[in-house]
Structures are given as C-alpha cells and as structure tokens.
Structure 1
C-alpha cells in the first residue's frame, strides 16, 4: 500500500485530566474529585471523559452548540458559587424591565409631582435592526435575598445563554439557579472584617442577652410613639407581628431581624439617655452591648448576601453610634460606604415602579430607606471633606409619599395619594429636608470641583436654594421660638435643622469669596450673602439658647437642641470673624468705611461675643462646647488685635465686650487657626471644615 492511500488514525487515548482542569488548562492530580476542583468548591463539576470513539458520526452543529453553551453555562455558574461574597447568590427566574437610566430629578421637583405614576414603559417591537433598551433584573429568593442585576452584568449574560439554548430547542431542562452548588457556609468568608469581629457568640447566647420581654415592650413602645429622630423606615404593624412571632421561637428568627431588633433598642436607649430618662438598674444592657449585639447579628446573618432587614439594621446602628459617640470619627463614613454598596446591590437606587415583583408596600418602604441613605451620605461625606459616594446620575428612586403608617399595609396593591405637605406625618420632615439636601449636595459638588467654579453657576445655585426654601411648608420655615409656643418641641427642632442646613448651604457656596478678589465688586453680593447667612445662623443659636434656659419654652426639651451639630454654628462664627478681620484690614473702599460698614461690623462682633458666651456657659457639660468656646475666644482676640480703633463696637455691644479669658494653649490647633483668621486668600476651607468637625482630634491627622 502506497503512502498516498494510507489512512492516518490518531490513537484513541483517554484524557488524563478532568473536564474543568482541561478547560482552564490547570494541573490535575487525577483524583475524583481532584484537588483543583475541591479548592474551588466545584467538586460536583469534576468528571473525566470516557475513551472517545473517533469513528462515530460527526455530531450535528445543533448538538455541538448545545454542548458549548452548557459548558459555558456551567463555567459561569461555577464562578457564582465560588465567590458569593461579592456576587449575587441564590437566584430565581424573576426578570423585569425598567425605564432607561436618566439623571435624577431634584428632590423638590419629585416632592411636588402628582401622586400618580405618570410614566410607563412602552415595549418596542421593531425589526432586528432596532436597538432596544437593555433591561435590568431583580432576582429574589424565598429567604428574602434580593439582587439587582444590571444588563451588562455577567449574570444577565448567563440568562442570555439560557434563552439562546431554549430558542434552539435543544435543552432538555432549564437551568436551575438554585442548583448551582451554592454553599451558604462558603458564601461569605466572615464579613465581620468591617467590624473587627474575630469571634462571634452563638445565636442562642445573643438572644439570651436581650432585656426581658416587658422591658423590650416598654422600649419599643417609647420608640414608635416618639417622632424625634425616628427615621420612619420600620412599619410598626409589620414589626409588631414579627416581634410576636419572635418571642414564640427566638432561635428560629432570622439573625438579621434580630439585628434590627437590637438596633431599634440601641437607638431607643441612646435617645432616652440624651433626654435624661432614668432607667431601672440592671434591667437594660449598656448601649455598647446593644450595639455589639447588632453587629454580631449582622455578621451572623451574613449581611453581604443582601437579605431582608440588613439595610434597616445598618442604618439604625449608624444612628445609634452617632448618638452615643461624643467624638467624630471616620468609622461612620466607612460604614456608610457599606450601606450604599448594599443598597445598590439590592436595587434601592432604582424606583420600585420600574421593577416588577415588588409590592406597593415594599416599594414605598424602600423609597423611605433610600431617602435616608441619600441624605446621610451627603452629610457624612461633607463632614469628612469627601465627595458624595452616591452618583445621582444613575439613580431614579422617587421621594416617598407623605403618608401615615396607617395608610400602608402589607397586602395593599395601590398606594393612596400623598397627603398635603402641610399635614405632619412620620416622613414629612425627611421629605421636606430632602429638597434642601439635594441642593446642598449640588453646592458641595460645585465647591469641591477640581476646576475653578464658574461664578454664574454659583449665583444659579444661590437662586435655586433660596427658591426651594421658599416653597417648603410654612410650618417648617424659620420662626423664632417665642412665636412657636403652640408648636410641639419636635416641630421646632425640625424647623431649626432645615433652616440650619439651608443657611449652611449658602455659607459653603459663597465663603470662598470672603477673601477672594476683594477689589472686584462683582463678588460683593456673595460676600454679603455669606455673612448674612452666618449671622442668621448665630442669631438662631442665641434664640435657641435663650429658649433652653430655666423658664424658657424649650427648657424641658433642651436635650433635643443639644443634638444640633456644634460645628455648624462654629463654622458660621468662623466666617463672621474672617469677614470682619478682612474688612478691617483692607479698608480699600469708601463705602466700607461708611455707616453701613460700621453697622455690619458691629453686628458681626456682637454676634461673635454672644456665641462665645453661649459656648462658655455650656463648656463644663460638653467637651465640644468647651472647644468651641476656646476657638471663639481666639477669634475674638484676633479680630480685636487687628484693629486698634474698634471704638464703635463698644457702642453697639451690650455689657462687657471682652470675652471670658481662656488660655490659648488649651486649643489644640490655635496657631493654625490664627493663621487662617488672618484672612489669607489661600485659606483651605476643606481643612478648616475638618478642624471644626473633628475638634477633639490631632490637627495633623485632619490634614491627612
């Protein structure tokens, strides 16, 4: 037989590596299962091909496509089971469509929208050349786990693979999302790293550390009947039903629900401590224990798997830590980042109206949770001097409706119309404040821009803030306490916090012009707007202080006012002092040496004196007040030293104009602050913010 007619046959040698190792070109030790598959938790996928018969007919293209798709599908599924910490876990077939991603409207615009949902999706039925919008997925499990899947996510590609296979009609059975080998014990490699929790007690030990049921009943009743600092993210009726079920069998309750219970108790005890309520001896664990149990339940419940109750427990834990910590630290900012990532994973950044499978009740409660996350992110990020962590251009969650708890129930199918803004509900304050917060967030982004902010944009934001504040309900607009004697103390507090946020926004927006291009009259409106906002804030501080004195309107509820941030009033005082120092030293325009200038300078100095005396009075009871008194004392001395002819101030001031003598060396950053008050045009406002908001920390640490 010649060479031309010779038929070459390959030896039918059996493969020595398992299929996964051959696919990935990994070294296989030929065991069953092999070590490589065992390490990757893919033991069920480890199999060896039998001796192939190469004389069989060539398989059809359809069968070959099916095998290839199945292999790819198994491969992607194995990725899912290997790293469930950062990837969604047990999934269902629930798939939904939603509207195109657009920029998020301002909170004020959303608040004034009609209550009906006016926008619905229209399905496109064009030809094969028509580009249709990609649609995200909401995937849920029976145990409460919720995952939001973007169209570009590889899990969506896995669905596409399944759909192609079914379209070719070559699949014997659909893919089982619950059978991909997901091991709950391997899903989360102890998410306690965030909380530095090396070892957790048993769930039985955690539940046994709860106060007795009567004590829990009392604390929960106090919480749900109080509207001061209650976020409105827990529905009382639903929680009460779950609470009754919990006491029937505590050990069968979800750990994340128990985390929610501990977080509510810790917030309640924190608020009762601030309000000076005396607790029965030994009946209630310390706040630190309640907070620790919250963390342990979050870790035990594997919060990273995006199960129900995790976000609510996180938010309340953050609130409790805010109440109980006397100093400002970076921990809330890190925890806020985890909350935001978890919210994104669960799809809270998308409005429930565009996501199928979410009930009307759950959707409205999700909006409430997201609204609190949005506002806390803006405040905490500003407090740390960092940009917001929420990209609003990818969010479209609407502001919740102004509804009472009684308007909502679990089995409802349609939301009722929103109550009028004038009607007080558990969420009205948060809704109204969200409008001001939305503009404040824009202002912070504008001032933190790496490029020089356009002055026209500054004026536009000023107009937007003033117009928005003018549209809020009359009952929440600024009003002196002596004109609020028929109002509840909580309403007075809400009114003041919205006003302070509004004024702080104007101060932050215009403060760079206090010492910038003083010869340019174009910026004079900004300088005046900044100073007037700062003076208004110091006036409100004096008004509240007077109302909290013995016999005052707020004396019995003065603990509410104590919760107002110290650094906001100190920021206003710093701006007033800086403007006064710059103007006295410049004297470059005749208009500033006239009567108007002297009256403004007198108002500024008097406001600083009043504020300093307020902090000095409270310095014995509050470390923050003591530091604030030191800072204002330094500022007043600095201003007086910069102008030897400050005789007109004595005429407009009442009483002794000299501040209480305080040793400058007690102020940890006195030298640096003195240099800032000198009015340098290169003043670092971000650095100054960190000083004012972290006054008990090392100044060098604030620079880093």
Structure 2
C-alpha cells in the first residue's frame, strides 16, 4: 500500500518544493530530510522493480546504492535537527525513514520495530494521538493531515509488530484521534476555514484504503446482530442454566453448555472492545461499551460458578482440568476489559456531566465490577501454583486492583496511568491466536 498520501499533501508539497529552490537557505533541514527520504524510497522501488535509471548521477553505479545514500542522508538530517525535540516534518520524515529501514535491509524487522517505537513516542509528544479539534492553535488543514498520519502510524504499528513478533506499541485507550475524512488532496488546502464534507465511499481517494480497511461500525453492529441471533437459536438443552437446575444432566452436557456461552460472550468482547474507550464519551458507541462490559461480567460469573463447582465434592470437581484449559484465557480477556473500562472511567469522570445516563453503571455499579475483579483475583491466586499463565495474570490484576480502589480527587488523574501501563502485561497472557489477532483484525 502506498503510504505517501497519508503523510504528504501533494499540492502543499509542490509549493514547498518550488519554494526550496527559490530560497534554499531558509528551507527547514527536516524538510530536506523528508525530501531525501522520498528520493530514497523512489530509488529503492526503481531497484526492486528492475527499472534501473539509464543515467545515474555520479558517483552512483546503481539505484540501490542511491537508495542507501539517501537513507543515510535522511538519518543525518534527523540527528542534526535532533528528532528528540520534534517539530514540523519530524513525524513524516521518521515514518519514511522507517520504511527505508524495513525495505532496505535484510532481517531488519527488529530494527524497524525500534524505529517505530521512536515514531510513536515522537508523534505522541506532538499530540498526534489526540484529535486536532482539541487544540485551537492547529489549523483545519494541519488537523486533517494529522488524522491521516496517525491512522497510518496505527496501521504501521500493526504490520511492524506482527513482522517482529512483538506486542503492538500503541496501547488501547491511548488515542482518541478521529479517522480522516474521505477527501482528495485537491478538496482542501491550508487556507480553508471549514473542511468539506467527505466524499462518498464509492469515490477513489488516497485515504480510502485506510478508512475502509477496518470494518465500519455498521458492520460491527450487523455482526453483533448475527451473533445474537445465532445464540438465540441454540436448542434448550444447550442453553446455559444454573447448576441447581442441571442435577440430572451429565457433566459433558453441562460443560458444552458453558463452553458455548463462553464462546458467545468472548466473541462479543472481541467484537466491541475497539469501541470500549470511545463509548465512555461518545453516545454513538455507548452500546458497544455496554455490550463488552456486560459480556465480561458474565464471563467472570462463569469463572466463579466453575470454581465453586470444581471444589472437592463439587458437581464438576473431576472436570477442573478440562475447564481450566478451555477458558482461562477468556477470563483474562474479561478482566482486562473491566480494568480498562474502570481505568478510563476514572480519567473521563471529571470531563463528563455528573447527571449523564450511564447504562453500564445502572447494570453493574463500579463497586460490583471491582468486586467481580477481586473475586477473579482470588480464584487465580488459588490456581497460580499450577499455571504460570494464571500466576502472571493474578500478579498483573493485583497491581491494577490497587490502582482501581476507591480514590479521592487528588489521585483521580494519576492512577489510570499506572493501570494502562500494566494492561499490556495482562494482554500478553492471552493467546494471540484467539484474541489479539482478532482484535487487530478490527
């Protein structure tokens, strides 16, 4: 995929390019680095496509050598300007340099992953992870270009992390940047005081791929309806019910009922988790927040039911090994969702109306959600000696519970930070094949 349109507004770049030749001395060195990175990528693509230039400037003997040269010059500009004190063009230049690193060297996945870490932190330092509408000093034009850039950085994060077989660098809940509008470069410019309405999805634009690559929220809701409808068609004998009403049923049948229920609730968690944080403040996604929290609570209810029934003398005491291997990871996913929702709720609480309608709070009060997490922690603590995965989850949950305890106004802003940093530890316990990949696919 061509990432250049996500970072470069063609008409604006041409103006800057022409201005450079008129007054080279006043051209920012970081812009020169950006130009070098573009030349490096162009040279690389000439080399790999077999489309060698007929005439090469001295002293180059190949386009591949040119690409390496421009990559080094890009790095030189980044260092000379000091990319750790970022300014205009820094993020764009770093992203193109990252592409040169990834494309220009063999076995460079880890190096590209390290560069990506720098890109994400620099972009956050400049506020790319927050929507530009929050900042009065950012123009509409720059704000839209920031949205394009952050959308692309998010895609690069997924790709590079997968290539390096390492966790994503951008954590859930760290950004609220809106998606870019489906516009051509000619639809907006630096002088605009109001952005035009986005083009219809049938129009081909440079940003359409990034916008429409993930499923739309309408697709998510359609899948939710299908999932719920399928769950409703289960025959009565496969529908989960209290163990007290299953006295005459065999343990195999009981476990199948709960396995199907766990599968349903887990898939609701995965389907809606992307909108858990936006659902705190955006009414459009309120249903998703409610659905994911409700599913997480039901999963932890099942955890408690199984734990009690698998104690010595319990109805399922001989099946404990089967249930633990089957759904421990789903319990961890549920705990992660509740921790994330509670943590972000603390962060958003001061900026939201005190009398707002909160369906989650009506269904499951904060104290109820905290108590369910504490019960889950107790269950995992009991099992931590026989499972390294459960031990790690218990330790992460212990620290997060400490941060999520009832707080006073002085600590309200500080505590969610520590919790969000531990969220990735809890995520890493979950089998990537069953959860993380599915979430990334959203």
Q: TM bucket by the smaller chain?
A: 0.3 to 0.5
| TM-score relative to the length of structure 2 | 0.44
TM-score (structure 1 length as normaliser): 0.29
Q: Give the number of the structure whose residues are more often helix, by fraction.
A: 2
